[in-house]
Amino acid sequence: MIAQSTRSSLAASALIIGLAFSPLARAEKSTYQLDPDHTSVGFLVHHIGYAKVLGLFREVRGSYQFDEQSSELSALEIVIETDSVYTNHKKRDKHLRGADFLNSREFPNMTFSASTAKKTGDRTFVIAGQLDLLGITRPLTLTATWNKSATYPFDGNPYVMGVSARGTFFRSEHGMTYAVENGWVGDDVELIIEFEARRQ
């Protein structure tokens, strides 16, 4: 017959082993920083219904936490400098930075943030977050694909994660109503986000 103290020790050991191998114990979130040299935030907006203007923001930074074992995402923040907008047309870019659109002087940043994500496939996610633009915060949902995570082949061999994300929002919901009513500039803005992020 096993003594009471022995049974207690065995039970404690089993509990420790169980916790050590539980999903919760294995979950180890790592912090990732977006690599500005390999991050692109673009957009598409209709122009008088003829075609869509393709633009991008040249200055973007951000970070998030992610656990590869559980696919748990948290603390995502992507900060975009509105003054860095570029559409390959100087007059249009100046207009976009002005009060009719991004009002970059008063609102130098637009920010997407999210505290969690829902896994929809092996490497696909829906990220329900918030977009802060022109001082107005509204819900924005991104669909994201986790393309790859691996050791980088150069630059000191950091561990890098690559992601593609897409989403759409209505600029009028953020008070940006210029040329919406007459249809000259589309209300819906298609976001294109591509980034590599380095694990810290």
Residue 7 forms part of a structural domain = no
What domain count does the chain have? 1
Residue 23 lies in a domain: no
In the 8-state DSSP scheme, what is residue 97? Answer: H
The whole domain housing 129 covers 28-199
Residue 157 lies in a domain: yes
* CATH code at position 34: 2.40.128.110
Give pTM, 2 decimals: 0.86
pLDDT (tens digit, 9 = 90+) per residue, 134-164?
999 999 999 999 999 999 999 999 999 999 9
Domain-located, residue 11: no
17 domain-assigned: no
Task: Look at residue 16 and tell me if it is in a domain.
Answer: no
Read off the pLDDT of residues 12-56 as tens digits, 9 standing for 90 and up.
444 444 444 444 445 589 999 999 999 999 999 999 999 999 999
